[in-house]
Homo-oligomer: A and B are copies of this chain.
Amino acid sequence: MRPIDALVAALPPGRVVTDPDVADSYARDRTFVEPGKPLGVVLAATREDVVTTMRWASEHRVPVVPRGAGTGLAGAATATDGAVVLSLARMTAIRELSPADEIAVVEPGVITADLDRAAREHGLMYAPDPSSYEISTIGGNLATNAGGLRCVKYGVTRDSALGLEVVLADGRVLNTGRRTMKGVTGYDLTGLFVGSEGTLGVITAATVRLRQAPAQPPATFAAEFGSLREAGAAVAAIMAAGCQPSLMELMDRATLEAIDDWRNIGLEPGTDAMLIGQSDASDSQAVVERMEALCVENGASFVAVSSSPQEAEELIGVRRMAYHAGERLGACLVEDVCVPRSALPEMIGAVEAAAAAHGAKILTVAHAGDGNLHPVFIFEHGLTEPPANVWAAADEVFTRALELGGTLTGEHGVGLLKQRWLALEAGPVTQEVQQGIKAVFDPLGILNPGKAI
């Protein structure tokens, strides 16, 4: 009997897919990396399925690649040759939602926006909102420690994770963390699993923190600037004034041109940057007017402030067009560096210089309040991976981010994509320690080998 047949026999009927074409559709995320050929795909419906799969994998030394919806942008869910893909997408129960305690207990396959909607029925929200949140899962968000637009105010996925149920490599079940807002019993195992890209265990449930949803719709502004430097100064002034924006997004000239070519937003020749900000505070209109004044003080050529939720949506809508505008131009490698906030204009300048030096087309949008940039490298549709000049430009972008005190990845993760730059940031002691931790949880090296660290 082949090992995979033993797995089929051990699981309830219909859980394992071995058809190569179907399996291939579970082998990729949204990264330009050619996957390997997996033995098959487990469509886990229960924690017990995961336990059975991991026991089998340990017995047969078969690598396991856990995945949620496959919306990742770093290749953490890319299948490898001879591995079994373990999909958690069918575990979609919201086991509990407690408005009084502002927590929910959810399975990993719950779509992020579905949890947010369930919370809003009780006046609450689930704050982390990666751009993919209508299609990504909580499990994938946890595995990559996903960020989003609101995290400038509410923090990243880690900041909403209170406890986890995890199946370890050998099939044992570990419960980390707690249901309480605070707690310091033992080491922070919850934090260790969040962002570990399935290399330490398989998350089968999470206790997450909910927050009170703002009672009124947010107020929004959009400001145009003649230079990145002025836009950066406006960001600094807004943060220094304690405005606590719930969203603060910056787009460069290349992005604005791509949007204007598509939807004609009336882009002026002298506009080099647009800043879009939002407040969801109880005095949001007053806060947004303060942010508007700070934009003007710092050289904005034009500022629009929403006077209704519809207008707010229109202003944010420009930002939402950015990726689609990029996809019209070609295939997109969406990158993800983060720098100290004061280095934001310099970093965007470095991206533009790298684009010019290597003949690469790059559109940059940034979660400006966090210093988190997404340079979108455009290349020819139909290529299976980015060409050499794109990688050369990306290399320059990563190197410059590190020189500016930044990091290779603000919210997408290391996956496979950043492996070749990892040593530049992590250093040998960190890498050795991380390998040691990995070995504690996964002595056989079967959990998503080659990812994250």
Contact = CB atoms under 8 A, between A and B. Distances in A.
Interface of A: 98-103, 123, 144-145, 147, 151, 155-156, 158-159, 168, 172-176, 178-189, 191-192, 194-196, 200, 212-215, 236, 239-242, 244, 281-283, 286-287, 338-342, 367, 369-372, 405-414, 418, 422, 425-427, 429-430, 433-434, 436-437, 439-441, 452-453
5 contacts: A183-B407, A185-B426, A186-B414, A186-B422, A187-B196
B180 A340 contact: yes
Given A178-B405, A187-B200, 12 more contacts: A145-B188, A155-B159, A156-B182, A178-B406, A180-B340, A182-B367, A182-B407, A184-B414, A185-B422, A212-B241, A212-B244, A433-B440
A430 B341 contact: no
Nearest to A211: B242
A182 B212 contact: no
Nearest to A194: B188
B429 A182 contact: no
A188 B195 contact: yes
Contacts of A182: 147, 151, 156, 338, 367, 370-372, 407, 410-411
Contact of A429 (B159, B174, B411): B174
A433 B242 contact: no
Given A99-B240, A175-B427, A433-B189, A410 B183 contact: yes
Nearest to A236: B100
Contacts of A434: 186-187, 189
Nearest to A405: B179
B212 A411 contact: no
Contacts of A413: 184
Nearest to A426: B186
B187 A338 contact: no
A366 to B, nearest CB: 12
Contacts of A196: 187
A411 to B, nearest CB: 6
Contacts of A282: 242, 281, 283, 286-287
Nearest to A195: B184
Given A409-B184, A412-B184, A414-B186, A436 B429 contact: no
Contacts of A286: 282
Contacts of A411: 182, 184
A102 B200 CA distance: 33
B183 A340 contact: no
